[in-house]
């Protein structure tokens, strides 16, 4: 779309999993991009690989700053040097278990960082924001598919930060109607760029299903614990809405266009999911098919706090953003395996 040419986007947390994939798509779509990331949960190698993927020409339109949103001065430095048309705000901590053990760290990082960002944006009159929310704001939904107007509920401190930040966004926009804010509620992001050069690289033992399966497949972990085999689902394991990270990346482009084109957007939430539910055991089978590797599994008790089945209603995103996920679980597993097989130790060069 012509109107996007040379629009300048600040991407917080752009060195992370979803950030890197989104930055590739932004550059390819003609946006200029500045990343701010403190590299708390990422490495500079990921940004180097983004540059490699887009090539030397588009790479010139990408700036990286190592900075921390908790330091207002780090954000101010960026805004005082250039004008941003919008911010895509990924930066945050996201490990549910860690948030239960150390809630202060989560409130400090996710809340203080975001408030600093809004303050600096307001000061420099940049009032367009795309915020990374999460399906976690639906808690344990009583009905599925999850619709954006469902009642919201946090199940843990991480979820509480997302819920608070959604409320903060709604309050700011209500008080100052010139703000345009899109809240994107991601379901379960998985997969990797088709090149196999960028992907998810969690530190330590993974909490989430797909990175865990991936590490079993490459021999870093012996077997997958399947948490729950007595759920009221077809095969007894829990059901989630897995979404390919490249579909998610494209969802951000659609959200930006909506922000720029629709002065009446206000503060609106959109689900980014496929609308389809897949069980843990179905996901294991799909990964085995894609990789040709056997994934040994152990059936274990349910993980506390887990819901039986969660998947998205995609109606609003389809209708208002004109966005729909293209990929199914086979492509998610194919690309996740391609990333894993080429980078068994993630971004580490050797082990």
How many CB atoms are closer than 10 A to CB 301? Answer: 10
Question: Strand 278-279 and strand 239-240: pairing?
Answer: antiparallel
Tell me: does residue 240 bind ligand WQD (CB under 6 A): yes
Part in contact with ligand WQD (CB under 6 A); list of ranges 24-32, 77-85, 203-211, 342-350 = 203-211
Cα 63 to Cα 40: distance, rounded to the nearest angstrom: 18
Contact 249, 130 (CB under 8 A): no
Task: Build a one-symbol-per-residue string for 40-79: x at contacts with ligand WQD by CB under 6 A, - elsewhere.
Answer: ----------------------------------------
What is the CA 268 to chain-centroid distance, rounded? 17
292 φ/ψ sector (left φ>0, alpha ψ -120 to 50, else beta)? left
Structural tokens at position 130: 């795309």
Tell me: does residue 209 bind ligand WQD (CB under 6 A): yes
Tell me: does residue 238 bind ligand WQD (CB under 6 A): yes
Tell me: does residue 136 bind ligand WQD (CB under 6 A): yes
**Which one among 71, 102, 195, 208 touches ligand WQD, defined by CB under 6 A?**
208
Respond yes or no on whether the N-terminal peptide bond of residue 127 is cis (omega within 30° of 0): no
Q: How big is the site for ligand WQD, counted in residues (CB under 6 A)?
A: 19
In the block, residue with structure tokens 């993974």 = 206
What does 91 bind: ligand NAD, ligand WQD, none (CB cut-off 5 to 8 Å by kind)? ligand NAD
DSSP one-letter code for 302: P
What does 16 bind: ligand NAD, ligand WQD, none (CB cut-off 5 to 8 Å by kind)? ligand NAD
What is the CA 350 to chain-centroid distance, rounded? 27
Q: Identify which of residues 7 and 99 has a Cβ nearer to ligand WQD in the complex.
A: 99
Residue 210 φ/ψ, nearest 5 degrees = -65, -45
What does 166 bind: ligand NAD, ligand WQD, none (CB cut-off 5 to 8 Å by kind)? none
Of 158, 186, 270, 311, the active-site residue reads 158
Q: Any catalytic annotation for residue 311? A: no
Residue 221 φ/ψ, nearest 5 degrees = -130, 145
User: What minimum distance in Å lies between the beta carbon of 133 and ligand NAD?
Assistant: 7
Tell me: does residue 164 bind ligand WQD (CB under 6 A): no
Which of these, 91, 269, 88, lies nearest to 183 by C-alpha position? 269
Applying CB under 6 A, the residues found at the interface with ligand NAD are 13, 15-19, 36-42, 68-70, 90-94, 109, 113, 132, 134, 186, 189
Q: Which residues bind ligand WQD (CB under 6 A)?
A: 94, 96, 134, 136, 188, 207-209, 212, 224-228, 238, 240, 280, 303, 306
Kindly list the catalytic residues. Answer: 158
């Amino acid at each position: 779309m012509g109107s996007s040419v040379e629009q300048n986007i600040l991407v917080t947390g752009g060195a992370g999993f979803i950030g890197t994939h989104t930055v590739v798509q932004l550059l390819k779509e003609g946006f200029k991009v500045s990343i701010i990331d403190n590299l708390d949960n990422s490495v500079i190698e990921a940004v180097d690989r983004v540059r490699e993927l887009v090539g030397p020409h588009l790479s010139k339109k990408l700036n990286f700053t190592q900075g921390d949103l908790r330091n207002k001065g780090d954000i101010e430095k960026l805004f005082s040097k250039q004008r941003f048309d919008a911010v895509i705000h990924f930066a945050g901590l996201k490990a549910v278990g860690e948030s239960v053990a150390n809630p202060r760290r989560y409130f400090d990082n996710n809340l203080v960082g975001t408030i600093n960002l809004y303050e600096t944006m307001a000061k420099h009159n940049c009032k367009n924001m795309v915020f990374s929310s999460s399906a976690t704001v639906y808690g344990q939904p009583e009905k599925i598919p999850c619709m954006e107007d469902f009642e919201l509920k946090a199940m843990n401190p991480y979820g509480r930060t997302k819920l608070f930040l959604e409320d903060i966004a709604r309050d700011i926009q209500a008080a100052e109607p010139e703000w345009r804010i899109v809240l994107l509620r991601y379901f379960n992001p998985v997969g990797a760029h088709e090149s196999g050069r960028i992907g998810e690289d969690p530190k330590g033992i993974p909490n989430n299903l797909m990175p865990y399966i991936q590490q079993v497949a490459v021999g870093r972990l012996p077997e997958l614990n399947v948490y729950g085999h007595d759920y009221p689902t077809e095969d007894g394991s829990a059901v989630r809405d897995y979404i390919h990270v490249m579909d998610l990346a494209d969802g951000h482009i659609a959200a930006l266009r909506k922000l720029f084109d629709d002065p009446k957007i206000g503060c609106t939430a959109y689900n980014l999911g496929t609308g389809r539910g897949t069980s843990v055991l179905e996901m294991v089978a799909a990964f085995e098919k894609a990789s040709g590797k056997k994934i040994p599994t152990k059936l274990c008790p349910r993980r506390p706090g887990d819901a039986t089945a969660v998947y998205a209603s995609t109606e609003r995103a389809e209708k208002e953003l004109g966005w729909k996920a293209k990929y199914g679980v086979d492509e998610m597993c194919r690309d996740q395996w391609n990333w894993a097989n080429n980078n068994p130790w993630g971004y580490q060069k050797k082990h």
